[in-house]
Structure 1
Amino acid sequence: RNISISPLKSFYAFPLIIILGRIIDSFSLTTLKEKLEAIAKFKFPKTLRDLKIFIG
């Protein structure tokens, strides 16, 4: 794969950055608490139709 990095779109020397609902720091990659809470509150699909809606 040919991968290139654009200096204008890159973040260097940041202690913490939030991208696409993820918290990235020099030690870890975690998910925002709001995203986890939304997933935890989501109702479990009970019918096939609900499952199709859940999957998208």
Structure 2
Amino acid sequence: MKALEQAKHVYLFGVGGSAVVCDDFRHKLMRMGKPSSYYPDIHLQMTFVPAMTP
């Protein structure tokens, strides 16, 4: 929880059944005021991951 609280932005990645879970969690984070992004497309996921920082 501490890492989630300290995160400036939360990136969510999921395909198949986990895609629904990721999208739901993104909406919950949005309601809490935490910036988040969800990328359901595997090609977009592969593009964004190398550019991410901890």
TM-score (norm 2): 0.22
- Higher strand proportion, which one? 1
- Higher helix proportion, which one? 2
TM-score (norm 1): 0.21
Larger Rg: 1
